[in-house]
Structures are given as C-alpha cells and as structure tokens.
Homo-oligomer: A and B are copies of this chain.
Amino acid sequence: MNGRELSAPSCTVETPTLAHVAALAGVSPATASRVINGTARVSPRARSRVEEAVQRLGYVRHRAAPADRRSGSIAAVVCEDDARVFTDQFFARLFSGVRRELGDERELVVLIVGRSGRWGTVAEYLRGGRADGVLLISAHGAPAMALRQTGVPVLLAGRPLWTTPLPYVDADNRGGARTAVDYLLKCGRQTIGTIAGPPDRAVGVDRLAGYRAAVGDAGLPTSGLITYGDLHQASGEHAMNRLLDRRPDIDAVLCASDQMAVGALRALRRTGRRVPDDVAVVGFDDSPIAGRVRPRLTTVRRPIEDMGVRMARELLGRIAGDAPVGQGVVLNTKLIIRDSA
C-alpha cells in the first residue's frame, strides 16, 4: 500500500493513523510527526504536504495506546465565569498542586468554558486534545453525559450536589465548620450566627450543615442567625448588617469564606462593635487576605494545594486502571486561630 492508494475513492482507512498521513504526504512518519507536533524544523514543502494529508484524511491524533500514554495531556475544565476565575487565588493554588504532582509526565491544559459552556463543544476539545483524564472544576450540573463520550476518567473538585457516580476530592467543609463552632462555644459564645455560602455549592451546603450540627448539639437555637452570601466581600458586609438587624445580641459569626468575613468586619466596625470583644468572627479557607486584614482572621484552613496534588494523584491512578476505593476523598481542614476570634 502506498500513499496514492489512500487518496483513491476506495480505501481501507477507518481511523487514519500517522502512517497514513505520512504515506499520503510522501514523507517519513518521523517527518509527519514533527510537522504535527510542531516540534522541529521541516521544509515548507514537506510541511504543506503533511498539512494537506492531515486535512484530506481528517486525521486527528487519538488517545495514546497504553504503551505511550505518557505523551497525553490532562485537561482541567473550569466552568466558572472569567471574572471569578481570574481573581480567585483558589484556582492558582489548586493548579499549582496539580502541576506539582503531574511533574513532567503529563501536560496540564486548563480549559475555561464559563458557566454556560456548551458541553458538546467541551467534549470535542477534549477528544481532539486526546486528554488522558479530566479534572472538572466548578461544574454545576450534569455535564457527565457529554464527558463520558470522551471515554476518559473524570474527577471532580469538590463534592457534587447532583447525582453522579463521578469520583471527587474535597476538603472536610462540614467538619471544619463544626470545629470552628465548637471553638466559639468553648470561648463562651452563646449567640452564634453564620453567613453561609450559596446553597447550590458544596462549600455552601456543607459548611452550613457543620454549623447547624454543632449549634444543634449544644442545644442552642439558630433562629434569625442564618443568612447567605455569594462568598464575596460585599455580600458578607450586607449579610452581617442583616444579622445585626435581626439579632443585635449576636456575639459570634462563622463566615463561609474569608472574603465574607472581611466584609463582616467592616459592617461590625461601622456599628461600633469591637472584634473579637463584642463579636467574634471566623472565616473559611485561610486565603492570603486572612493574615493581612486587621484584626487578623481566625479561619478554617482548606488545604487547596494538597487538594490539587490529591486530585492529580487520584486521576493518574484511575488512568492507570487502579481500582477506586470509594467515591470521595475528603482532606482534613484545620482551625487557624489568629485575632478575630
């Protein structure tokens, strides 16, 4: 079989391979590979012949066979609006952990598709890029169907709130919130409120559940003491004002993010309340701002880099065919005591 046969109307190509491309282009497979990988100099003539052959055959490099799996990539799909992705340190820290664990073995390509990303398009990118595995971040809903088509392991960042068998890595948000409330109780606080996160996200639901469990176990009521924010500063300020309106006797507040805690500090300052003397404030995440704001925030540390490392490790394990042990891996959080509580 030579290249010319490939261009004839009758052929035996079901899935065009690099060898087919090389044959049609009349170059060596090594040359075709160099053109396709863009890794070395090739004569313009050879390049254009290879490019033409690629186009004619509809050649797309496929997911590597087990033997050369090392050449594949890992895709991280972020379903979040740019404005948040590009300002929230969470992503930088998570991917720093992922890259550290991947090392040079596999390339990481991050796809940001927005909250309204069309899953068909995403799946096509993933197939084309022959991802060996997918880390799915901030996905709110059921993209699993489209992703399953890519036929590669998928791992979620954070516990999914929808029904899915997909594995995930998360921090112990519930346990962290519980520990924080227990600490506030031990400090003698009696009227503990919370500024919870969005109810459509695990960090919202699970941190609130931890708060409820701890306050309930202590036999204290929560009436008028629960409010919600979007995890950002301004919403924390508004929410704190609402709490103060409803319960002027509040003496502690657990915020589902450090940013909201910073907003709460501002609202408390404006009403002349001292932190922590009058009202103790606990944040969540231990993001950089927690140590910079005054008073410095007592907060629940979420091990974000470690989550990235663990996500990469779990995904690589599934790619290698390791049998999964349970659906979720939950990493410990830690209460960091500073000045605000």
Q: Which residue of B lies closest to A144 (CB)?
A: B38
Q: Is A332 an interface residue (CB 8 A)?
A: no
Contact of A14 among B58, B89, B99, B108 (CB under 8 A): B58
Interface range on chain A (Cβ under 8 Å from partner): 35 or more
CB proximity of A175 to chain B, nearest CB, Å: 27
State A113–B131 Cα separation when bound (angstroms).
13
A111 touches B114 (CB 8 A): no
Across the interface, which residues of B come within 8 angstroms of A126, CB to CB? 125, 128
Copies of this chain assembled into the complex: 2
A87-B82 in contact (CB<8A) = no
* B residues less than 8 Å from A47 (CB atoms): 145
The segment from A115-123, A208-216, A266-274, A292-300 that touches chain B is A115-123
Binds B, one of A49-57, A248-256, A275-283, A317-325: A49-57
Judged by a CB distance under 8 angstroms, whether A138 is at the interface is no
Distance in Å: Cβ of A178 to nearest Cβ of chain B:
30
Question: Please, which residues of chain B bring their CB within 8 A of the CB of A9?
Answer: 12
> Does A238 sit within 8 A of B, measured CB to CB?
no
For the complex, what is the distance from the CA of A129 to the CA of B111, rounded to whole Å?
A: 11
A16 contacts the other chain (CB 8 A): yes
A39 with B120: CB separation less than 8 A:
yes
Say whether A189 faces chain B, with CB atoms less than 8 Å apart: no
Does A223 touch B at the CB level, under 8 Å?
no
- A92 CA / B84 CA spacing, docked (Å): 8
| 26 A–B pairs (Cβ distance < 8 Å), ordered by A | A11-B13, A11-B14, A15-B56, A15-B58, A35-B149, A36-B149, A37-B119, A38-B120, A38-B145, A51-B151, A60-B127, A73-B121, A83-B96, A86-B88, A86-B91, A87-B87, A107-B121, A109-B113, A109-B117, A110-B111, A110-B113, A111-B111, A111-B112, A111-B125, A124-B130, A126-B128
Which residues does A use to contact B, with CB under 8 Å? 6-7, 9-16, 35-39, 47, 51, 54-58, 60-62, 73, 82-83, 85-89, 91-92, 95-96, 99, 107-114, 117-130, 143, 145-149, 151
